[in-house]
Amino acid sequence: MKLKKRLTITYAIMMSFPIFTALVGFLMVILSGSEFVPKAIFMQVFIALIVVLILMSLILTTWTNKGVFAHIRRLNEAMGCIAEGNFDYALPRDEIGGEIGELYKSYEDMRLRLKESSEDTIRNEQQNRELISNITHDLKTPITAIKGYVEGIIDGVADTDEKKEKYIKTIYNKANDMDRLINELTYYSGIDSNRIPYTFHRIDVSDFFNDCIEEVGMDLDNNNIELNYSNLLEPGTRIIADPEQLKKVINNIIGNSVKYMDKEHGIIDIRLLDAVDSIRVEIEDNGKGIANKDLGNIFERFYRTDASRNSSKGGSGIGLSIVKKIVEDHGGYIWATSKEGEGTCMHFVMRKYVGQNEESEQA
C-alpha cells in the first residue's frame, strides 16, 4: 500500500509539474508588475490557480488510480486465486486495451492452460485409483479360488483322480486369469508412456490366423463355445504387423466375448474379408450384446458398460482400449456393431502389404 501511494503521488506531481511551472511564471509576471495590480485581484488569481492545481492533481490521481492501479489490484487478486488453486477466476480479455489488456490476455492464457493441466492430472489420478481398485478386486477373486482348490486337494476333498484333475484345471485357469490381469496392467503402463515395444514383420495373414485359430480353439472348447472360421482373402495376402501384438488384439476381443457370453451354447465367428487395398477382420459372438448408449464408449480406458454387473465378471476395463491402441499403431482402425440380446461384432481394418513383385504383377 505504501508503494502504491508513493507511486500515485509521484505520478501526480510529475503530471502537475508543467502546470506548477506555468503558475510560478505567471506569479512572477504578476509580482513584477505588482504596483499596477491591486492586491485583492492578485490574491484572487493566486487562490484560483492554487485551486486549479489541486483539482488537476486530484483528477490525475483519480484517473491514475482507476486506469492503472484498479487493474493491477484486479490482476493481483487473480494471481492470488491461481496461487490457491482456483483456476475459475477469469479476467476480461477484450474490454481493455494497451499494456493492461496484454497483461490480462497473458493471464487468461496461463489460467486456461493451468486449468486444463489440473483437470488432466485429476482425471489421470482418478483413473489410476480406479485401475488399482479394479486390479486389486479382480486379483482377489482368482487368488481366493486357487487357495480354496489347493486346500481341497491338501485336505483330501478331491479324493478321486477325476476331481483332482478338475481342481488342477481350475487352478490353471485362475492362474491364467491373474496372468492376463497383470499383463493388462503392464500394457496400460506402456500405453500411458507411449512405449509399447513393436517388432514389425511382413506376415502372411492366412498363416497367422490359422495359428491363432488353433490356439484359441482349445480354450473355446473348454468353455463350450463353438468357433467358426472363414477366410475369403487371396492366398499370399500379407500385412506389416507385429505378430505378438496382433495376437493380443485377437485374444482380447475373444476374451471379452467369452467373458460376457450369456448363452448356453456360445458361438464365435471369425471372418477374414478382402477390402481392396486392405483386409477386414470380423469377430462376432452371440452374447448379450451392448446397448447403443454404451457402444461409442467401449474403447475408452476403464469404461464398463454396467459396473454393477461387470464387477462380477472381472477385468480392468482397459482391454479394448489396448486393442484400439495396437490397431491404430498399425495404421488401422476399429469399430463395433451390436444388438442387445443377439451379440456383438468387432471389425478392424489393416492395409495390405504390396511388395515390388506384387506391384509389377498388378501393373
Task: Let me know if residue 120 belongs to a domain.
Answer: no
Rg (CA), the chain: 39
Q: Are residues 243 and 304 in the same domain?
A: yes
Q: What is the CATH number of the domain that holds 136?
A: 1.10.287.130
Q: For all residues of the chain together, what is the average pLDDT?
A: 77
Give the pLDDT of residue 311. Answer: 42
Instruction: Assign 208 a pLDDT band (cuts: 50, 70, 90).
Output: very high
Under 8 Å between Cβ of 152 and 171: no
Q: Are residues 185 and 312 in the same domain?
A: no
Q: Whole-angstrom Cα distance, residue 12 to residue 65? A: 10
Please indicate whether residue 242 or residue 119 has the higher confidence score (pLDDT): 242
Cell 457370453, located at residue:
261
Q: Are residues 167 and 255 in the same domain?
A: no
Q: What is the CATH number of the domain that holds 333?
A: 3.30.565.10
Q: Are residues 165 and 309 in the same domain?
A: no
For the question of whether the overall pTM of this predicted structure is more than 0.75, the answer is no
Last residue of a domain, one of 55, 86, 117: 86
Split into its structural domains, the chain has a count of 3
Task: Let me know if residue 99 belongs to a domain.
Answer: no
For the chain, what is the HEC assignment? CHHHHHHHHHHHHHHHHHHHHHHHHHHHHHHHCCCCCCHHHHHHHHHHHHHHHHHHHHHHHHHHHHHHHHHHHHHHHHHHHHHCCCCCCCCCCCCCCHHHHHHHHHHHHHHHHHHHHHHHHHHHHHHHHHHHHHHHHHHHHHHHHHHHHHHHHHCCCCCCHHHHHHHHHHHHHHHHHHHHHHHHHHHHHHHHCCCCCCCCEEEEHHHHHHHHHHHHHHHHHHCCEEEEEEECCCCCCEEEECHHHHHHHHHHHHHHHHHCCCCCCEEEEEEEEEECCEEEEEEEECCCCCCHHHHCCCCCCCCCCCHHHHCCCCCCCCHHHHHHHHHHHCCCEEEEEEECCCEEEEEEEEECCCCHHHHHHHC
Under 8 Å between Cβ of 344 and 277: no
Q: Are residues 147 and 46 in the same domain?
A: no
Residue numbers of the domain that contains 46: 2-86
Give the pLDDT of residue 28. Answer: 56
Task: Let me know if residue 108 belongs to a domain.
Answer: no
Task: Let me know if residue 103 belongs to a domain.
Answer: no
Q: Whole-angstrom Cα distance, residue 16 to residue 14? A: 5
Give the pLDDT of residue 335. Answer: 94
Last residue of a domain, one of 172, 192, 212: 192
The per-residue pLDDT for range 189-198, each reduced to its tens digit, is: 666 656 677 8
Q: Are residues 73 and 134 in the same domain?
A: no
Q: Whole-angstrom Cα distance, residue 280 to residue 288? A: 24
Q: Are residues 341 and 243 in the same domain?
A: yes
Q: Are residues 47 and 180 in the same domain?
A: no
Task: Let me know if residue 97 belongs to a domain.
Answer: no
Q: Are residues 292 and 324 in the same domain?
A: yes
Give the orientation angle of helix 319-329 with respect to helix 243-259, to 10 degrees. 150
Instruction: Assign 359 a pLDDT band (cuts: 50, 70, 90).
Output: very low
The per-residue pLDDT for range 320-357, each reduced to its tens digit, is: 888 898 999 999 999 999 998 899 999 999 999 987 54
Q: Whole-angstrom Cα distance, residue 358 to residue 354? A: 6
Q: Are residues 183 and 217 in the same domain?
A: no
Q: Are residues 221 and 340 in the same domain?
A: yes
Q: Are residues 176 and 159 in the same domain?
A: yes
Task: Let me know if residue 96 belongs to a domain.
Answer: no
User: Distance of alpha carbon 76 from its chain centroid, rounded?
Assistant: 32
Cell digits for 270? Answer: 471369425
Last residue of a domain, one of 192, 212, 235: 192
Task: Let me know if residue 292 belongs to a domain.
Answer: yes
Task: Let me know if residue 101 belongs to a domain.
Answer: no
